[in-house]
Amino acid sequence: MSSTQKLHVLFACSEAEPLAKVGGLGDVAGALPAEIMRTAGEQVDIRLIIPFHAVIKQKNPPVGLIGSFPIKTKAGQLLCDLYVTDLDGVITYLLDSDGINHNSPVYYGDASLDGRKYAQFSVALLEAMRFIDWQINILHANDWHSALAVYALKDLYQADPFFIHTKAILTVHNLPYNGFGADAAMTDLGFTPCRDPDLPDWARLTPLPLGLAAADRIVTVSPGYAEEILTPDYGCGLDGFLRLHQEKLSGIVNGIDLEKWNPETDEYIGHPYSIDRLHSKQLNKLDLQRELGLEMNPELPLFTVVSRLDFQKGIGLIFDAIPDLAHQNWQLVILGTGAKELEERARDIAAAYPHKIISIQKYDDVLSHKLYASGDIFLMPSLYEPCGLSQMIAMRYGNIPVARATGGLKNTIIDFYASPENATGFLFAEKSAEGLKNALESALNVFKNKQIWYRLQRNAMSADFSWRRSALQYLQIYQELSQNSI
Ligand code: ADP
Ligand code: GLC
């Protein structure tokens, strides 16, 4: 690549913080493109595209309308509006149309409505590039919501000179969410079932597997998860396909936004602190205890959970394990919403132990900062975890994770028993309440030894979770792919 020839990269995603965030995917799209831009300097022009969700409209960010263009459907055509805004210096396009927006939530939670929204988004984002005449070298898609754009390059646009040099990378943040239910919308947009013999039959009109089949490179968000998805236990029926195509699969661990998540400058907490001023962390605990009506005692170990209440997160293990520890002194605060059954169990257990356990069922960014800052022990017993950001945020706040040894948790937490001197948390392997209970008991024991606990906190707080490392690895892939594309 010559110095005058910038690599054009389009980063496509369903959410991006601070415009729209449902989970870690929003954190990633809100931070990674900007970090890639800063790291690459003049070499890369990276832009972001997301749907113009209702929640973004409510925030009323400064946007400019670029114009309108059609995408073809069986019934005729669908008019799309393209807007532009700025996200941390990254040119960010917002796509709107009846199908993509409809004043809709980021995710409807209904397979066919989401299928239609994101199938149209995937085609429209490519047409948007033609509309502004910005030829892309690399399409960087994320999860099933934009995976169809990758497949479209091979299926709908195979012979289109505008996309002839476009290479595609697909980052998988969560394999089980494959976009099942999009087939009607796909047929309407002119997609044909994929004939790749390596794919299972159920996948021939399913967005994520089609993206995997069409992508030049597949990245998942940790090396640990990249290995796990090659096995039937974690592969969601795609492990066979992935094993056959291992050469294009790798894992890159996410980072966290070190400015947003900084205990020294955090505006949402009453008492900023650092490794050298950890006594102030206890003042945050006292604040939280007061705010939630818990006994105010800085010596009591405070367990915290900040999570979607989802099967994935192993939340049920917490409810099963915690009664066995009830004879010990601790407090537990759970912040999260999600599956009705888990919300109900969280309410029940909080009612059963009113002086120990509080369940707060909402999405609350400010409160999440307070929990990370006040907590001593962060619970993350995920059944599977592609990367996980919460545990990295917790560590940055000296809130020591107790987590299952899976996916990105394995790659980001150093286990106390594997390496006591360098440890940043506690890992357990068994997918059981017993496994979690034993790990929590270990953590409670170590917590009593102030010196060792301080070492854990110091290690955790000084770990490098910057986006820079991930950005460099993605850039390496962009460069490898672009060698043949321009
Ligand atoms: P996932 O994306 O699977 O939900 P991650 O650990 O990657 O898990 O990211 C979760 C992100 O969502 C973190 O930034 C976490 O702080 C945030 N989060 C989860 N639940 C809540 C909540 N109830 N209120 C505020 N933030 C939350
Ligand atoms: C998904 C995964 C989570 C990961 C996040 C960002 O939501 O569940 O493990 O951290 O994406 O990549």
- The CATH number of the domain holding residue 373 is 3.40.50.2000
Residues 298 and 380 in one domain: yes
Residues 291 and 218 in one domain: no
Supply the pLDDT for residue 104. Answer: 85
Residue 264 within any structural domain of the chain: no
Supply the pLDDT for residue 369. Answer: 98
Supply the pLDDT for residue 1. Answer: 45
Query: Which has the closest alpha carbon to 303: 287, 322, 284?
Result: 322
Residues 21 and 141 in one domain: yes
Domain of residue 404, residue span: 275-464
Supply the pLDDT for residue 484. Answer: 59
Residue 187 within any structural domain of the chain: yes
Residue 221 within any structural domain of the chain: yes
Residue type, 7: L
Residues 339 and 439 in one domain: yes
Supply the pLDDT for residue 103. Answer: 76
Q: Confirm whether pTM is higher than 0.75.
A: yes
- Give the chain's domain count: 2
Other CB atoms within 10 Å distance of the CB of residue 293: 10
Residues 25 and 148 in one domain: yes
Residue nearest to atom 10 of ligand 2 (CA): 388
Residues 223 and 285 in one domain: no
Residue 1 within any structural domain of the chain: no
Q: Which residues line ligand 1 (CB under 6 A)?
A: 23-25, 27, 306-308, 335-337, 363-365, 368, 387-390, 393
Residues 332 and 473 in one domain: no
Supply the pLDDT for residue 102. Answer: 65
Query: Which has the closest alpha carbon to 400: 474, 304, 271?
Result: 304
Q: Which residues line ligand 2 (CB under 6 A)?
A: 23-25, 28, 173-174, 221, 254, 385-389, 408
Residues 118 and 39 in one domain: yes
Residues 477 and 460 in one domain: no
Residue 154 within any structural domain of the chain: yes
Ranges in the chain, pLDDT < 70: 1-4, 101-102, 484-486
Residue 50 within any structural domain of the chain: yes
Contacts of 11 by beta carbon, 8 Å cutoff, 6+ apart = 29, 32, 33, 36, 46, 47, 48, 49, 140, 142
Residues 477 and 452 in one domain: no
Residues 188 and 116 in one domain: yes
Long-range contacts: 309-312, Cβ < 8 Å, 24+?
A: 309/336, 309/337, 309/338, 309/339, 309/342, 309/343, 309/346, 309/361, 310/338, 310/339, 310/342, 311/339, 311/342, 311/383, 312/174, 312/176, 312/382, 312/383, 312/384, 312/385
Query: Rounded to whole angstroms, how far apart are CA atoms 448 and 426?
Result: 15
Residue 261 within any structural domain of the chain: no
